[in-house]
Chain A
């Protein structure tokens, strides 16, 4: 079971890892919060002590000035031989909605992407890759009919959670 603090830390860390804002990753009124699903996936797939170390490391980082946090995540998490692969898989999960490698054995190196699993049908519709590309996954689109014939809105528009 994820605690609220775990979720806060996971979303905060994910914001730095993905480049999307924390409010975009876990909107206040979301009826189907994918952040909760991703945290639960992480906790079910990866050794509990490793997840705990990653989140507590981030919790410490979150006390730094915001401008210093990305560099700290780079040096303390992404560069860490055990935390780095997990963090990179978290990025993949956010962008592609897929968990690729079983990290139950922290000594098992990343060997490829052959064992990917779509986290859920809800997650499938919410991959950040689609927001970044202003596109949509196969079989699911919220864009209006004929959108391909008009210029897309600017990527820095204040809406769309992106």
Chain B
């Protein structure tokens, strides 16, 4: 077991997992032509060639240079962009949050990540509407103080859309919590924004209602773009992360070496319905779902990448005997993709016959599965115990008609694929019904500011409060 110092942003539990099966000894496939990202300088256990295109450079846009212009080829380009982004965001981070040029992702099995230093919405949209503190500071709830490191990670949401937004929007997406098959606990969520997103909000005073009211232009977050000879370091562009975490407990059957893990404060807010006391626990949490929303020059409707831990709805590759799926039990009689019975109380551990029984309604397609195997092979080549090899891309949604007018009848830009859901983040709205089933772009196309203006595909601006507080 290895532990980062208490002075680091968080402690990461690292448990080695002996490699099972034959894939560990297989040479990974060669990189595809348009892999894009800059390869890392430092290799841990494998040659740079075996690591393929793993790199710490966050791509500003997809690379379309090597493929014929077909729907399938463009999907491949965006899927490669997704994997490049996943690797760069989860790259080993230095204390200041930047990527460590000396450490390849997963070289130590698990690692502190770059996106961990991104801001959470509660740090930006303060209750009194005041200007948020500079990048890098965090304020913990009172219940979380004095039980762990002062700069620990805070996870509090029990549904993808937080209580703050539900209060405003009448709970349109309160589809229900996801319950772990192993321990009966609720999955927790967090949202983080990168520096470009944060700067745009702060520079335009969009962090409070008065600032949004005074902002008369169309909200347009900055776009990322690809590096060129003339512009070798283009902006990354606005980027929003959504992550889903489950409690990882070997005593309950979890295999820790198959998860990226953090020590995190699991905070539950007070509630009247059902009566819930505020609480805070320090837990080992494992990453099970990971959304990346990235605005790029080629995609004004943003690019939407979604990843999952491979054991979410079935036991994934190279699993040791006895490994169980996180959210699916073949013997369970609980109806599939159905929320747990009410009342929903995150402090209550549900019995096995009430835990989430999740199936994937739209399978991952063959081309994406092949790409997943390729990138998982490169991650395994760094370190056979790398936790990152146990993540898979579900798909990438992108606009096929990106130049459609944002004020016209087809502002969503005809997304491909039409529907996309992460089993841990859109568990109960999977399917193929227009405007009902999960589609990242179609849903976020409805996002507004607090004064009902289009907010450029992010709901975060709805969280702004009045100066001095909403009860002023």
Q: A residues engaging B (CB < 8 A)?
A: 27-32, 121-122, 124-125, 130-131, 134-136, 139-147, 150, 152-153, 157-162
Contact = CB atoms under 8 A, between A and B. Distances in A.
Given A144-B446, A145-B448, A31 B409 contact: no
Given A27-B401, A31-B415, A134 B432 contact: no
16 contacts: A30-B414, A31-B414, A31-B416, A32-B418, A122-B418, A125-B434, A134-B409, A136-B409, A142-B409, A142-B411, A143-B408, A150-B407, A159-B404, A160-B404, A160-B408, A161-B410
A7 B442 CA distance: 28
A121 B434 contact: yes
A4 to B, nearest CB: 14
B406 interface: yes
A81 B318 CA distance: 66
A150 B411 CA distance: 14
A44 to B, nearest CB: 21
Given A131-B409, A142-B442, 20 more contacts: A29-B74, A29-B400, A30-B414, A31-B71, A31-B400, A31-B418, A122-B418, A122-B434, A139-B435, A142-B411, A143-B411, A144-B454, A146-B453, A147-B407, A153-B407, A157-B408, A159-B405, A160-B405, A162-B409, A162-B410
Nearest to B75: A31
Contacts of A29: 69-71, 74, 400-401, 414, 416
Interface string B419-447: 00000000000001111000000100110
Q: Which of A131, A160, A161 has the most CB of B within 10 A?
A: A160
A162 B408 CA distance: 10
A121 B432 contact: yes
A144 B411 contact: yes
B264 interface: no
Chain A to chain B: the 8 pairs with minimum beta-carbon distance, closest first: A31-B416, A29-B400, A144-B454, A160-B408, A142-B412, A140-B435, A160-B410, A159-B404
Contacts of A158: 403
A27 B414 contact: yes
Contacts of A160: 404-405, 408-410
B409 A143 contact: yes
B79 to A, nearest CB: 14
B156 to A, nearest CB: 28
B172 to A, nearest CB: 12
A142 B410 contact: yes
B400 A27 contact: yes
A36 B414 CA distance: 16
Nearest to A151: B407
A19 to B, nearest CB: 16
Given A27-B400, A159-B404, A140 B414 contact: no
B452 interface: yes
A82 to B, nearest CB: 35
B435 A159 contact: no
Contacts of B453: 146
A159 B408 contact: yes
Contact of A144 (B74, B403, B415, B445): B445
Contacts of A134: 408-409
A153 B405 contact: yes
Contact of B446 (A124, A130, A145): A145
B86 to A, nearest CB: 22
Contacts of B434: 121-122, 124-125, 139-140
Contact of B417 (A31, A125, A131, A162): A31
A157 B409 CA distance: 12
A141 B442 CA distance: 9
A145 B448 CA distance: 7
Nearest to A125: B434
A119 to B, nearest CB: 13
Counting chain A CB atoms within 10 Å of each CB, which of B409, B414, B415, B418 scores highest?
Answer: B409
A143 B408 CA distance: 6
A32 B408 CA distance: 20
Contacts of A146: 448, 452-454
B461 to A, nearest CB: 13
B446 A159 contact: no
